[in-house]
Structure 1
Amino acid sequence: MDNYENKISIKAWAEEDRPREKLSGQGRRSLTDAELIAILIGSGSRNESAVELSKRILHHYDNDLNKLGKASIAELSNFKGIGEAKAISIIAALEIGRRRNDAESKQPDIISSSKDAYTLMRRHLMDLNHEEFWIILTGRSQKVLTKELVSKGGLSATVVDPKIIFGMALQHQASGVILIHNHPSGSKKPSHDDITLTKRLVEAGKLLEIKILDHLIITDEGYYSFADEGIF
């Protein structure tokens, strides 16, 4: 591990260089990512300032806030100087930033394209280290009735029970269903199981007069639409 002896504490810095004072005097945009995270952390240790600790954490994640945003409490707590409380503060702040970004885009009330479905669901499936399977239920004119989490799984798969999907659809008197799940691996390509499941649900929906409108695979980089690609 690097030697952090003889470091100068933040209290010994010039006042205009301290993160809190810098934000107060020069505005939030004057701070680096490390300085902003240092404010969240609050304090470092005897041998390492909060800013230096923040720089070390960012360096570990290639100075990429998106990668840092995927870190778990346990992962962040592995850094010397970061306990559970500080890890939670970092994760919460990054989640607020993501939600603010999503809030700036109006959520669609009617699904007229795969992009509308993606816009509605991306915030639920970004930065996850496990698979989740969701559905959007629509009524007449493809108006959104609700969105529901069907199941959670591991890194590469999640179990989906068709009875649960159509049970939810019948409960809400939906006429259409859009299937959505994420690939934590980042691959947008559907697996053989993805295709098989989709075709099974399409056929089952015909018996109940509930149409499967699309199936989206969402990654951090975008999405894949079964309907757009003519899979069904």
Structure 2
Amino acid sequence: MSQCIKELSLDDRPREKLMQQGAAGLSNSELLAILIRTGTHKRSALRIAEDLTAADGLYQNIACVHSVAELARIKGLGTAKAATILAALELGKRVAAAKRQEKFKVASPQNGAELLLPRLRYERQEKFLVVLLDSKNQVLRIEQVSEGSVNSSVVHPREVFAPALLYHAAAILVAHNHPSGDPKPSCEDKELTQSLAETGVIMGIPLVDHLVIGDGIFFSFREHGYLDK
């Protein structure tokens, strides 16, 4: 039987440790234990959290989960605890992506990746987003164009440029994720990029870049010479 959190010294209890040292001073398992709150008869909340975050489990067991039912299947968690964890994860993603979008300027592929990595990195299905930009390359809004299967997302230029026309965008940046974690573009990605670039020229709404988001890394079509500088 693992030691109950209440049996730990005050300095070792996650909640008290957070109040004394701040959240940055806690390990992944300690932060998760605060959300779990209580354990089972045989396993403390901290022990459950340690098991879930061991060997990159934070990403495999937590960050990649998208439903309460899926998370609640983990031994030691119920629907209430799973909902709390899922809510915290979603808030974290939103905070990470919460640039002041109307003021955030996409001046480089890295800027675009900073904006979109938190939103797309852990998605299990391929999602295609269009970022609408003003004449200064500042973000007006972000629209999801499509959501596909694990391997592909069907996108047509008219779906990409429809929100650009609706919100009077001066230019667009598009992005999609590869659930495999490898951002290397496929032949279909290259063909779509060319089609969008050509459509943008005709419509007077240039394609600034197409980013493929992987697991913490990204591929920029502009950076690799697929789009005119």
TM-score range, shorter chain: 0.7 to 0.9
Range moving further from structure 2, 209-218 or 9-18: 9-18
- Matched residue, 2:195: 200
User: Are 2:65 and 1:71 aligned?
Assistant: yes
Cα distance change, pair 64–98 in 1 and its aligned pair in 2 (3 A): farther
What's the RMSD between the two structures over aligned residues? Answer: 2.6
- For residues 155-199 of structure 1, give each alpha carbon's deviation from its aligned partner in whole angstroms, at most 9, with x where no partner exists: 111111222222212212223221111111111211011111111
- Matched residue, 1:46: 41
2:177 to 174, 182, 186: 182
Cα distance change, pair 113–42 in 1 and its aligned pair in 2 (3 A): same
> Residues 135 and 165 of structure 1 are in contact (CA less than 8 Å); yes or no, is this contact kept in structure 2?
yes
Range moving further from structure 2, 222-231 or 33-42: 33-42
TM-score by length of 2: 0.83
Q: How does 1:78-89 map to 2 (within 5 A)?
A: 78-89=73-84
Aligned residue for 1:178, secondary structure, equals strand
User: Are 2:54 and 1:56 aligned?
Assistant: no
- Matched residue, 1:129: 124
User: Are 2:104 and 1:109 aligned?
Assistant: yes
Letter in 2 for 1:65: L
Query: d(CA) in 1 for partners of 2:93 and 2:166?
Result: 32
Q: CA deviation at 1:80?
A: 1.6
Cα distance change, pair 152–97 in 1 and its aligned pair in 2 (3 A): same
Cα distance change, pair 141–83 in 1 and its aligned pair in 2 (3 A): same
User: Are 2:15 and 1:20 aligned?
Assistant: yes
Range moving further from structure 2, 183-192 or 83-92: 83-92
Q: CA deviation at 1:27?
A: 5.3
1:155 to 134, 139, 150: 150
Q: CA deviation at 1:119?
A: 2.3
- Matched residue, 1:212: 207
> Residues 201 and 212 of structure 1 are in contact (CA less than 8 Å); yes or no, is this contact kept in structure 2?
yes
Percent identical residues: 37
> Residues 69 and 95 of structure 1 are in contact (CA less than 8 Å); yes or no, is this contact kept in structure 2?
no
Q: CA deviation at 1:30?
A: 5.3
Q: CA deviation at 1:49?
A: 1.4
Aligned residue for 2:192, secondary structure, equals helix
Q: CA deviation at 1:7?
A: 4.1
Letter in 1 for 2:188: D
Cα distance change, pair 27–136 in 1 and its aligned pair in 2 (3 A): closer
Q: CA deviation at 1:97?
A: 3.8
**What is the number of equivalent residue pairs in this alignment?**
224
TM-score by length of 1: 0.82
**Computing the radius of gyration over CA atoms, which structure comes out larger, 1 or 2?**
1
Cα distance change, pair 20–211 in 1 and its aligned pair in 2 (3 A): closer
Cα distance change, pair 97–206 in 1 and its aligned pair in 2 (3 A): closer
Cα distance change, pair 33–141 in 1 and its aligned pair in 2 (3 A): closer
User: Are 2:223 and 1:228 aligned?
Assistant: yes
1:141 to 136, 140, 154: 136
- For residues 177-229 of structure 1, give each alpha carbon's deviation from its aligned partner in whole angstroms, at most 9, with x where no partner exists: 21111111111211011111111222223332222221111122221111111
Cα distance change, pair 226–7 in 1 and its aligned pair in 2 (3 A): closer
